[in-house]
Amino acid sequence: MELQELLKKLCSTCDPTERLVSLALNVSKASPPHPEGRGFHSSRLLSWLGSEEHPLTLREILRGVSGKMELHIETELRPETEGLFVVAGPGLWESFELAVPIKDFLYVGPTPCIAPLLEALTRMPRAYVIRFDQQEGILDEVSGGVRREIERIPSVPVERDAQHQMSGHSARNQAGSGRPATRMGGGGRDRYEYCVEETVEAMLHQAADRVQTLQQKAPSESIYAFGDRKHFPYFRDRLPATLRSQAIHLGPLPHRHEELLGKRIAEEQDSRVRNRVEADILEFQSRQAEQCYVASGPEVILPLLDTGKVARVFLDPGDPLPGTKCISCGSRGGACGHPLAATSMTQEVVSHALLHPPLPLTFVAPGAAWLKESGGMTALLSEKGIHGRR
């Protein structure tokens, strides 16, 4: 199942016995560095889930999933995985291995709470990468935090003019028809007097055209290039104007240390995401200072979701914001008189964003004081003349 479809399915999942466990575990090798490796994380998980701090009923539910999680960590976890997110419950087990670290998180209720998963996914956006030297260009796609090669484009010698191309062509034909090889003398050799610059230019043009096609099928926000800075403009300037600003030269091609490439890309992706979150927050705060189309607190924001007036919601992915909701009619005020069920108000927003797009979300760094003071959730509202930027 496609990731988006799976996320939507999880958002529509409900267990009336309230035994759905959503759990994020940071399995990053870097934090903390530990000689026991994965074993460290599974024993940390077991003592966390089995902690006497949890009420007895919760501990019993957690016992039902801890064994399977332990097994997953010790036998199935991919070496490059930095974060693990699991949704588990009666007849349900979905695990997501993430290429970025994730903060530990636990929520048990009638629905999953996938905000931490969604936040981690925003830190692993799709990108295209071109690595080039004079011999060839290699196109990669980064998706889900994993880089894989799509295509190699070799530099093919560019012939100087049509006359040479013709003589070369006829020389090849003659050789193929059994004529003595000596006939491929002077004129044939001329074909290889090509210009390196033209060859690299043609190869990078071809790569740019290919990236443009890829972008149409699966858009990305970033196109990263590694190679000679002098030749980079051949690639960038060939792209259509709309894509040109996305193309960033990240440095020379690291020939010996491939891992530097991944590290450089991860840093760039990370700073892009951080800058965007900061810009979103600044926009909210300046509008809040003017009291201009903003809303604060889940009680205000949730009823507005269906009106189409919410342009962006700011959430703390690590805070489920427990609330209640009517089982029969779905209303949250409690005025209907029906019995109420537990709910995560963060999940209500995430679910709405996935099932009724577009609703842009900004995940704020956990524990931000300004967000807590505003009830743990804020929103930009759209009114005439004021729209969400994306």
- Residue ranges that bind Zn ion, judged by CB under 5 A: 326, 328-329, 331, 336, 338
Nearer to Zn ion, 129 or 326 (CB): 326
**Could you tell me the smallest distance in angstroms from the CB atom of residue 302 to Zn ion?**
15
CB of 320 to Zn ion, least distance (A): 22
Number of H helices, E strands in the chain: 13, 15
Percent helix, strand, coil in the chain, to 5, is: 40, 25, 35
How far apart are CB 12 and Zn ion at their closest, in Å?
19
Q: Report d(CA 367, CA 214) in Å as an integer.
A: 39
Looking at 245-286, which runs of residues are DSSP E strands? 247-251
Judged by beta carbon, residue 292 or residue 336, the one nearer Zn ion is 336
Cβ neighbours, 10 Å, residue 163: 11
CA distance 81 to 59: 27
What letter represents residue 321's amino acid?
A: L
**Rg (Cα) of the chain, in Å, rounded?**
28
Contact between 353 and 347 (Cβ < 8 Å):
no
Tokens of residue 303, six digits: 């009823």
Residue (209 or 299) nearer to Zn ion, CB: 299
Least Å from the CB of residue 339 to Zn ion:
8
Residue 101: partners with Cβ closer than 8 Å, 6 or more residues away: 26, 28, 30, 31, 82, 83
Q: How near is the Cβ of 335 to Zn ion at its closest, in Å?
A: 8
Q: Identify which of residues 195 and 336 has a Cβ nearer to Zn ion in the complex.
A: 336
* Min separation Cβ 306 and Zn ion, Å: 15
Q: Please identify, using beta-carbon distances, which residue of 50 and 303 lies nearer to Zn ion.
A: 303
- List Cβ neighbours of 210 (8 Å cut-off, separation of 6 or more): 139, 151, 153
Which residue lies nearer to Zn ion by CB, 65 or 345? Answer: 345
